[in-house]
């Protein structure tokens, strides 16, 4: 994702890619390591794989919204992609890369479009450093969760 509003954060986790994937593929548990994810409700009977839809109540500081997403990529154990179809639209993807037998690089890419009443492109520009910080912290929480095992 190379567009100007794209956000990308990454971390190395001292766990095998299969173990990291197992945690990430369990969408219901994202609230356990994503500080901004308050609750997740599935909108489909499926909870894994392409076509899975869910609503994630999200809060950053005083701002909250419900982010509706649909899984568009499910390439176990390497990639999980979503399309945001709620108030904020766009695409996001988790990419896992096995560095060796026991380490995984986890990259989180998002390309989001904000509605006009949230500032449109200017709102996205202002939000980018805040979201990058929040998502870096989320990845640090995931790393801690997996490494303390």
What is the residue extent of each domain of the chain? 6-148
- CB of 94 closer than 8 Å to CB of 105: no
Q: 64: which strand partners?
A: 59
pLDDT of residue 94: 98
**Residues contacting 37, CB < 8 A, separation 6+:** 30, 31, 56, 57, 58
How confident is the model over 36-46, as a mean pLDDT? 98
Give how far Cα 22 sits from Cα of 3, 75, 84, 121, Å: 30, 12, 22, 35
What is the side-by-side strand order in the sheet with 89-100?
A: 6-13, 103-113, 89-100, 79-85, 63-75, 53-60, 37-42
pLDDT recorded at residue 1: 42
pLDDT, the chain, mean: 94
Q: How far apart are CA 82 and CA 101, in angstroms?
A: 27
60-100 pLDDT, tens digit per residue, is 989 899 999 999 999 999 999 999 998 889 999 999 999 98
What is the fold, at CATH topology level, of the domain defined by 6-148? Alpha-D-Glucose-1,6-Bisphosphate; Chain A, domain 4 (3.30.530)
Could you give the C-alpha distances from 65 to 2, 20, 60, in angstroms and in order?
A: 26, 27, 9
Element holding 98 (H helix, E strand): strand 89-100
Identify the pLDDT of residue 110.
Answer: 96
């Amino acid at each position: 994702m190379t567009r100007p509003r794209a956000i990308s954060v990454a971390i190395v986790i001292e766990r095998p890619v299969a173990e990291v994937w197992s945690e990430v593929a369990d969408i219901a548990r994202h609230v356990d390591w994503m500080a901004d994810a308050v609750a997740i409700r599935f909108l489909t009977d499926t909870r894994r794989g392409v076509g899975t839809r869910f609503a994630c109540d999200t809060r950053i500081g005083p701002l909250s919204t419900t982010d509706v997403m649909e899984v568009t990529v499910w390439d176990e154990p390497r990639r999980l992609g979503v399309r945001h179809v709620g108030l904020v639209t766009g695409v996001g993807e988790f990419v896992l890369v096995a560095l060796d037998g026991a380490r995984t690089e986890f990259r989180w890419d998002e390309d989001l479009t904000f509605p006009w009443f949230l500032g449109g492109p200017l709102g996205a520009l202002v939000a980018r450093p805040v979201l990058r910080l929040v998502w870096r912290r989320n990845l640090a929480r995931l790393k801690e969760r997996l490494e303390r095992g």
